């Protein structure tokens, strides 16, 4: 019998193209046909992922329809064993009964929000000052500053008492695992059953102030989402307390789609079986988002005040491809297309599945935390030389790239805010995604991100050689 979560054919491209077309079909049939006819998906996917966003801007129900149809398509197409993802989780096939390792942290919980930034730990007035600076420079949305300040004012929120946070991808650089442990939270750590990963997870558990539970299947600690999906799903269903399922898994290439689809199958199952389950995600800033009027105004002001004498030669020599303005003038809702071709269509689809699940689950009444995280120098990013160079030169165009330690704490604090504040979600999905976004300046930069990416890489590479 075939095992593991896999594509229905050897081509991830065929699946992705079908999922995008299916997502668009009811709302934008012309767009669906265009996706189906795309013959060069590796290069041509960009316009179709932008269309997925634009087609759902009005009315709000359209965005939900796109989300639910896209999720339906991926669940019907992806296989696990001899059936679909949903069938795999419904299966009660005999196997090893999974057990649990329980680890109590040895430290005292931190009782104040402290953000590491450029060699300092920001708290109190220093944190307020830095938040003001990020807002002034357009690095984050003003609502980001408001949310972080609210968490800082309520340090009792930090340990998330009464919640059990399941961290899928506990070893991920951008995940909240270490921050939650410092704050004394109850965490379930799920990652691959590899000795190096599990040792790191256990070490952090002992060094922290929270409680950590690890799945044990047979003789192995940890869980492979792709090959033990039914067993992990059943183990999670049996955990006590309200669950917060956080998906922070990453893999290279097509495997990222497989892992994201497996994680989404667990999310759908838990929400159905345990309706009080909350979901948590981090959205990548290198995607397509609708952005509010304030960010559009800041961007257009930056474009108009840019050095025209410097911009003109680049635009002339490139046939107008370089240093294009980010938004047309006089639009109230901008569309910021920050998709990066080097990351590829598999990465785009994996991250879009999470945004779709967030929109669909929120529409059905679930508590959802999805926040746009800033561009961050993670190992998975900087191993790509072109991206690493672009990140090194991004500051020349008003974009701040964060260190993992800073992003980590800030995004964990936003998760706390989403779970503990009484803010009602926005009716329009795009506005909810824009709330508290830490886009690093991509939304407010004067130039369309891809039209400046090459120059940023050249400048970043030159700076690293200097």
The pLDDT of residue 407: 97
What is the average per-residue pLDDT within 41-49?
96
Q: Return the sign of the alpha-carbon dihedral for residues 416, 418, 419, 420.
A: positive
Of the ranges 88-92, 182-186, 269-273, 357-361, which one carries the lowest mean pLDDT score?
88-92
Task: Say which range, 19-28, 40-49, 276-285, 325-334, has the weakest mean pLDDT.
Answer: 325-334
Say which range, 74-83, 177-186, 187-196, has the weakest mean pLDDT.
74-83
- pLDDT of amino acid 455: 82
Q: Select from 3.40.50.1970, 3.40.50.720, 3.40.50.1470, 3.40.718.10 the CATH code of 98-286+345-376+400-446.
A: 3.40.50.720
For residues 340 and 262, the model is more confident at: 262
DSSP secondary structure, 254-273, as one string: HHHHHHHHHHHHHHHHHHHH
> Of 140-144, 147-151, 321-325, which range is least confident?
321-325
pLDDT at site 88? 83
Predicted pLDDT at 383 = 80
Q: Which residues pair with 168 in a beta bridge?
A: 190, 247
Inform me whether the pLDDT recorded for 68 exceeds 80: yes
Percent of the chain at pLDDT exceeding 90: 79
Average pLDDT over residues 331-344: 92
The yes-or-no verdict on residue 229 having pLDDT over 90 is yes
pLDDT band at 1 (very low <50, low <70, confident <90, very high): very low
Tokens of 383: 């191993």
Least confident of 59-63, 108-112, 243-247, 338-342: 338-342
Query: 141, 439 in Cβ contact below 8 A?
Result: yes
How much is the pLDDT for 309?
Answer: 41
Lowest mean pLDDT segment, chosen from 4-13, 103-112, 133-142, 354-363: 4-13
Burial status of residue 200 (CB atoms within 10 A of its CB: 0-12, 13-18, 19 or more): middle
Q: Per-residue pLDDT averaged across 391-401, rounded?
A: 89
pLDDT at 364 over 80: yes
| pLDDT value of position 319 | 47
Q: How large a percentage of the chain has pLDDT more than 70?
A: 93
Angstrom distance (rounded) from CA 5 to CA 12? 13
- Taking the domains of the chain in order of start, what are their residue ranges? 5-92, 98-286+345-376+400-446
pLDDT tens-place string over residues 236-245: 999 998 999 9
Which of 266-270, 310-314, 345-349, 410-414 is predicted least confidently?
A: 310-314
- What residues are paired with 215 via a beta bridge? 100
Q: Which of 227, 221, 218, 220 is nearest to 259 (CA)?
A: 227
pLDDT by residue (tens digit) across 74-98? 999 999 988 888 788 876 555 668 9
Query: Distance between CA atoms of 52 and 246, rounded to whole angstroms?
Result: 24
Task: Inform me whether the pLDDT recorded for 275 exceeds 60.
Answer: yes
**Torsion angles phi and psi, residue 80, rounded to 5:** -145, 120
Is the pLDDT at 464 greater than 60, yes or no? no
Average pLDDT over residues 266-291: 96
Q: How many CB atoms lie within 10 A of CB 265?
A: 26
Write the CB contacts of 102 (distance below 8 Å, at least 6 apart in sequence): 211, 212, 213
């Amino acid at each position: 019998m075939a095992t593991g979560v896999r594509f229905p054919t050897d081509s991830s491209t065929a699946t992705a193209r079908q999922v995008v077309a299916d997502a668009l079909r009811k709302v934008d049939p012309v767009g669906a046909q265009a996706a189906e006819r795309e013959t060069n998906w590796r290069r041509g996917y960009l316009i179709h992922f932008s269309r997925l966003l634009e087609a759902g801007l009005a009315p709000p129900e359209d965005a939900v329809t796109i989300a639910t149809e896209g999720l339906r398509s991926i669940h019907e197409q992806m296989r696990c064993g001899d059936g679909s993802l949903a069938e795999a989780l419904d299966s009660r096939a005999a196997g090893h009964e999974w057990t649990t390792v329980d680890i109590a942290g040895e430290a005292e919980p931190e009782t104040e929000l402290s953000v590491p930034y450029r060699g300092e730990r920001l708290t109190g007035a220093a944190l307020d000052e830095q938040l003001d600076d990020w807002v002034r420079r357009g690095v984050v949305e003003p609502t980001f500053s408001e949310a972080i300040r609210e968490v800082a004012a309520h340090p009792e929120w930090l340990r998330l008492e009464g919640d059990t946070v399941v961290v899928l991808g506990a070893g991920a650089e951008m995940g909240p695992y270490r921050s939650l442990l410092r704050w004394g939270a109850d965490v379930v750590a799920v990652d691959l059953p590899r000795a190096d990963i599990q040792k790191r997870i256990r070490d952090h558990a002992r060094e922290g102030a929270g409680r950590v539970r690890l799945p044990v299947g047979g003789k192995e600690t940890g869980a492979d989402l792709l090959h033990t999906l039914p067993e992990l799903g059943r183990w999670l269903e049996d955990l006590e307390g309200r669950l917060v399922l956080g998906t922070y898994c990453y893999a290279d290439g097509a495997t990222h789609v497989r892992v994201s689809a497996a994680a989404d199958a667990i999310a759908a199952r838990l929400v159905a079986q345990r309706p009080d389950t909350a979901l948590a995600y981090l959205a990548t800033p290198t995607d397509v988002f609708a952005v509010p009027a304030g960010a559009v105004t800041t961007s257009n002001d930056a474009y108009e005040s840019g050095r025209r004498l410097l911009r003109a030669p680049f635009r002339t020599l490139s046939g107008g491809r370089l240093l294009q303005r980010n938004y047309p003038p006089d639009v109230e809702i901008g569309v910021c297309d920050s998709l990066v071709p080097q990351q590829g269509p598999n990465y785009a689809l994996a991250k879009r599945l999470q945004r779709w699940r967030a929109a669909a689950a929120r529409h059905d009444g679930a508590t959802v935390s999805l926040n746009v995280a800033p561009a961050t120098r993670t190992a998975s990013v900087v191993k790509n030389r072109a991206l690493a160079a672009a990140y090194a030169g991004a500051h020349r165009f008003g974009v701040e790239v964060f260190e993992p330690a800073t992003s980590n704490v800030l995004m964990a604090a936003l998760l706390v805010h989403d779970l503990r504040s009484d803010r009602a979600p926005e009716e329009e999905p795009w506005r909810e995604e824009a709330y508290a976004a830490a886009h690093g300046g991509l939304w407010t930069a004067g130039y369309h991100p891809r039209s400046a990416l090459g120059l940023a890489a050249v400048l970043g590479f030159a700076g690293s050689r200097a």
